[in-house]
């Protein structure tokens, strides 16, 4: 497994508008790698070990919780920030059981996303 550059950000979300938002928020300052489902993300993870990942929970084919489980089984040191519209506490608790760094509610706060990237990657 090869590690990507430490300042790179991996974004997994099935909503193209969210991917575009991340590009607008962070694309000028960081290399971004984006996929729109958990299955493709898992294939990517098999090849690279991203340092920071923003992950949606509700996706087709493999949801974010299933992907978190797979990441935990691989013992990756990726720092994960969950980005979701799902407000339920049970999801937040499950995410934290898998070592999630932060749990953000959609719609996203630009300053919060930028701050997380700056703190984690610098």
User: Two tokens at 50?
Assistant: 């991203």
Name the residue ranges covered by the structural domains of the chain.
9-121
Helix (H) / strand (E) element for 6: namely none
Taking residue 14's Cβ as centre, other Cβ atoms within 10 Å add up to 17
DSSP codes, 21-89: HHHHHHTTTS-EEEESSHHHHHHHHHHB--SEEEE-S--SSS-HHHHHHHHHHTT---EEEEEES---H
| pTM score over 0.95 | no
Please give the average pLDDT of every successive group of 10 residues along the chain, which has 122 residues: 70 96 96 93 84 93 92 87 83 85 92 96 88
Please state which architecture CATH assigns to domain 9-121: 3-Layer(aba) Sandwich (3.40)
CA dist., res. 86 & res. 17, Å (int): 17
């Amino acid at each position: 497994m090869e590690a990507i550059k430490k300042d790179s950000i991996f974004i997994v979300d099935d909503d193209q508008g969210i991917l575009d938002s991340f590009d607008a928020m962070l694309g000028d300052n960081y290399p971004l790698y984006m996929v729109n489902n958990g299955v493709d993300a898992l294939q990517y993870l098999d090849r690279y070990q991203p340092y920071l990942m923003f992950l949606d929970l509700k996706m087709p084919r493999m949801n974010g919780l299933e992907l978190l489980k797979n990441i935990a089984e691989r013992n990756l040191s990726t720092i994960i920030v969950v980005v979701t519209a799902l407000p339920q506490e049970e999801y937040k608790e499950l995410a934290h059981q898998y070592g999630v760094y932060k749990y953000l509610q959609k719609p996203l706060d630009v300053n919060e996303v930028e701050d997380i990237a700056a703190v984690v990657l610098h």
